[in-house]
Amino acid sequence: GENVEQHPSTLSVQEGDSAVIKCTYSDSASNYFPWYKQELGKGPQLIIDIRSNVGEKKDQRIAVTLNKTAKHFSLHITETQPEDSAVYFCAAHYSGGYQKVTFGTGTKLQVIP
Amino acid sequence: EPEVTQTPSHQVTQMGQEVILRCVPISNHLYFYWYRQILGQKVEFLVSFYNNEISEKSEIFDDQFSVERPDGSNFTLKIRSTKLEDSAMYFCASSVERGAQPQHFGDGTRLSIL
């Protein structure tokens, strides 16, 4: 089955700096890669996603890149703000037959004011 | 914006008892899911449900677990005889379609087994 590795497990950045979270996946059939933000006491909230036919996607301060050959994908947050502090999960999904989303192990991001 | 709602937010149950966790998915969504998250760990898939039947389940989803859509709006997860290791956050999710579509999560039910 699919296995998603995520690094780093914790990340502290100064407000205004950029944050980068990296993930790798094992199943080359995976073709949909969502990123979720989880705040304390809340469920995962989708913040951005990318499909395998696209190499990069951007939404304001958030961008995601995908390297299918290397099976790597990354989340980039620019101009970080204290409200970006949360746990971020990458995930991989094979849309062709399976329903389950396989999550990474999570990155706790702390933005220091 | 429509959202997935889960009740209760916290459930405390004695070991060996049955527990039912409830979810109301987003109204036009057709696919429903349960995930669990043990404290400090990643979110793990349990089961997906479509057209009144299970479409996929993980090895965690053993005979102690069952799911049901008893009416047009609710989606439930039942644990028949709870064990200490069932203590976790349980998240319900739903999506419009299968495939490369975002799954929308509720805020979860914290299940504590004593």
Tens of pLDDT, residue by residue, chain B (114 residues): 779 999 999 999 999 999 999 999 999 899 999 999 998 888 999 999 998 999 989 999 999 999 999 887 899 999 999 999 999 999 999 998 877 788 999 999 999 999
Cα(A70)–Cα(A24) distance, integer angstroms: 8
Tens of pLDDT, residue by residue over B9-24, are 999 999 999 999 999 9
| Chain center to CA of B82 | 15
Q: Residue B39: closest CA among chain A residues belongs to which residue?
A: A41
Q: Under an 8 A CB cutoff, do B105 and A32 touch?
A: no
Predicted pLDDT of residue A97? 62
H or E element at residue A53: none
Say whether residue B102 is in contact with chain A using an 8 A CB cutoff. Answer: yes
Mutate to test the interface with A, among B26, B29, B43, B89 (most CBs of A within 10 A): B43
| Residues of chain A contacting B43 with CB distance shorter than 8 Å | 36, 44, 89, 103
Q: Say if residues B13 and B114 touch (Cβ distance below 8 Å).
A: yes
